[in-house]
Amino acid sequence: MSEQDKKDNDQDYNLFRQIMADVKPIKQDKIDHYRPARSTQIHKKTSHNNQHNQDQLSEEHLPYSVTSEDILKFQRSGLQHKVMRKLARGEYPIEAELDLHNMSIPQARQQIHQFIHTCSHYRLQCVRVIHGNGQSIQSKYPILKNHVNQWLRQYSQVLAFVTTQSKHGGKGAVYVYLKLKKH
């Protein structure tokens, strides 16, 4: 790694730390319902640069087949099985999270898009997406859980995801393992 690359990484890390300065560690077993600020410069920049990619995420014609009791699991070919086992056991530190509770499908779609790209940009590897287990009045299936299951598979940055341990949200959240972006 060149001296300039190290300097750029340090600057990125310092910027990330500045942005995350007001984030407090969770000191409980229950989920902290954190929602990322929608007006930060990172989100504006990411949203502007990647709008066309977000539009490619499926929104319609989604077969709702996942129930609130189902465990979500996805692994790209080539990913080591021991990485998947560690992910499923919650052994990787969670570096960021996104809570989609009470969001509409378009809002959740936009937030997950921004979140994945921001995490990838800052070279975060293990993150959590909280989709909840809520069911719609019109459907016996949890709509956001089904969408998250479909959307995460569409990102090349997502190497794997799996339902979290109960201490991290259980069947209402997933650990997401991201490919580290090369600088």
Q: Are 155 and 116 in contact, with CB atoms under 8 Å apart?
A: yes
> Is the model's pLDDT at 28 over the cut of 60?
no
Q: What is the mean pLDDT of residues 97-121?
A: 95
Q: What is the mean pLDDT of residues 159-167?
A: 97
CATH number of 68-183: 3.30.1370.110
> Is the model's pLDDT at 95 over the cut of 90?
yes
Strand, helix or coil for residue 173: strand
pLDDT bin (cut points 50, 70, 90) of residue 14 is: confident
Quick check: pTM over 0.75? no
Query: What is the overall mean pLDDT for the chain?
Result: 81
Q: How many CB atoms lie within 10 A of CB 75?
A: 17
Q: What is the dihedral of CA 31, 85, 16, 30, to 10 degrees?
A: 10
